[in-house]
Amino acid sequence: MTSEPVPSFPTSLGASDPDTITLLGKDLAADLMGQVGFGELALWLVTQRRPTQAQVRVFEAVLVALADHGFTPTAIAARLTYLSAPDSVQGAIAAGLLGGGSRFLGVTEDTGRFLADVLAGVTGPLPEDDAGWDALALTAVRAARADKRLIPGLGHPIHKVTDPRTPVLFAIAAQEGLLGPHLKLFAAIGRVHTEVLGRTLPLNGAGVCGAALADLGLPPDLLRGFALLARTAGLLGHIAEEQRRAIGMDIYLTVEQHTDYQPPNVSPESA
């Protein structure tokens, strides 16, 4: 309609010409395929800096930890969507990912953001020993408590005492020299929260994953995205299993057979 000039659209991700495909400034075919793992590439795509092998190991441990937990609401939603629209695998995957919001998958992101906010409020140098981290954690937990905010990453509906992922991810990060301030603060919260809350809760796996991702330098606003990437692999597993041994119809029929129909409760004048 107009002859407005068109802006250019910058990107540092992919580009092609007739002979070459470039990705992240590298030659995809010559430099990346067969030489770079998929987890490594995913981390590189987000940070646009080639990760170290230590970073990749922690990152892939997080993805492995988050990939699947059996019949979660998101896995069930994906299976039911596949039942209804088997012609559209992308729709079933998308439906599963759409449950990656505040309540379940959100813990990873919420924990990373909570820790980052506490660290951002520190003036002066960060603590150098456990006592220093404990003091910082105690202040943060008390502040959250005073505001009636929950501490994200604390507690789990099934793993009441210990989430088995938590000590393992701390150990991997320590082995790789990547036990950074977010993980240290999260560990301190694990040590001190009982004093404020009056009961002992485990540090959960989703939370420790958020802390580890934040220590890799990943932005808090995107941590949920890594949980989604991990979950995409899990959802593919569910759809493959649904193809071999479908249960979506049984879930649907179970709900239908236990339906309790109750006509709307209307007063006479509005009926």
CB of residue 171 to a copy of itself, shortest distance in Å: 8
> Position of tokens 């593919």?
236
Distance CA 208, CA 65 (A): 10
| Per-residue contact flags (x/-) with a copy of itself for residues 111 to 150, judged by CB under 8 A | ----------------------------------------
- The 3-class SS string of 196-226 reads HHCCCCCECHHHHHHHHHHHCCCCHHHHHHH
| The amino acid at 16 | S
Site for a copy of itself in 204-263 (CB under 8 A): 205, 219, 221-222, 224-226, 228-230, 232-234, 236-241, 243, 245, 247-248, 250-252, 254-263
Rank residues 22 and 139 by Cβ distance to a copy of itself and give the closer one.
22
Number of residues that bind a copy of itself (CB under 8 A): 138
Specify the DSSP element, H or E, that contains 44. Answer: helix 38-47
Tokens for 152, please give them: 């994200």
- From the CB of 21, what's the least distance to a copy of itself, in Å? 6
- Tokens 């992308």 identify what position? 90
Please select the residue that binds a copy of itself; options are 124, 158, 199, 268, rule is CB under 8 A.
158
Q: Which is nearer to a copy of itself, 70 or 124 (CB)?
A: 70
Between 124 and 157, name the residue whose CB sits nearer to a copy of itself: 157
Region 183-202 residues binding a copy of itself, contact defined as CB under 8 A:
none
Q: How far apart are CA 84 and CA 269, in angstroms?
A: 40
For a copy of itself, what does the binding mask look like between residues 40 and 79, x meaning CB under 8 A? Answer: -xx--xxxxxx------x-xxx-xxx-xxxxxxxx-xx--
What is the nearest approach in angstroms of a copy of itself to the Cβ of residue 249? Answer: 8
Nearer to a copy of itself, 109 or 134 (CB): 109
Which residue number, 99 or 181, has a Cβ lying nearer to a copy of itself?
99
How many Cβ atoms sit within 10 Å of the Cβ of residue 143? 13
Which residue do the tokens 């993805």 mark? 63
CA distance linking residue 201 with residue 193, whole number of Å: 8
Q: By CB under 8 A, is residue 38 in contact with a copy of itself?
A: yes
Question: Residue 231 — left, alpha, or beta (φ > 0 → left; ψ -120 to 50 → alpha)?
Answer: alpha
Give the pairing type, strands 14-16 and 26-27: unpaired
Contact 234, 75 (CB under 8 A): yes
Query: Contact region for a copy of itself (CB under 8 A) — 117-125, 132-140, 168-176, 192-200?
Result: 168-176
What x-and-dash track marks residues 87-116 binding a copy of itself by CB under 8 A? xxxxxxxxx-xxxxxxxxxx----------
